Amino acid sequence: MGHIMGNEDLMTQTIKFVRSIRRKAKAENAEWEYVPNAETRAAIEECESGKELETLDLANFKAYVKSL
């Protein structure tokens, strides 16, 4: 994947990545069907929704993690 420019680019890249894995898996085993668990499905739907998601300040990422 290329450089990450922002949340929308990250979401788009994530969706494309998941779809490419699914296509490859189906091509390798035509009988296999990918069924995501509830948490994965919710994450995919959130990415596809286009909602404005939280933005992380990567300049202060360590401080953000410590605050969790």
pLDDT at 6 over 70: no
Query: Which pTM was predicted?
Result: 0.35
Cβ–Cβ under 8 Å, residues 10 and 3: no
Buried b (16+ CB within 10 A) or exposed e, 26-60: eeeeeeeeeeeeeeeeeeeeebeeeeeeeeeeeee
pLDDT at 62 over 50: yes
Extract the tokens encoding 30. Answer: 């035509």
Mean pLDDT score, 28-36: 74
Residue 38's pLDDT is what? 92
Residue 2: pLDDT band (50, 70, 90) is: very low
Helix-strand-coil percent breakdown of the chain, rounded to 5? Answer: 65, 0, 35
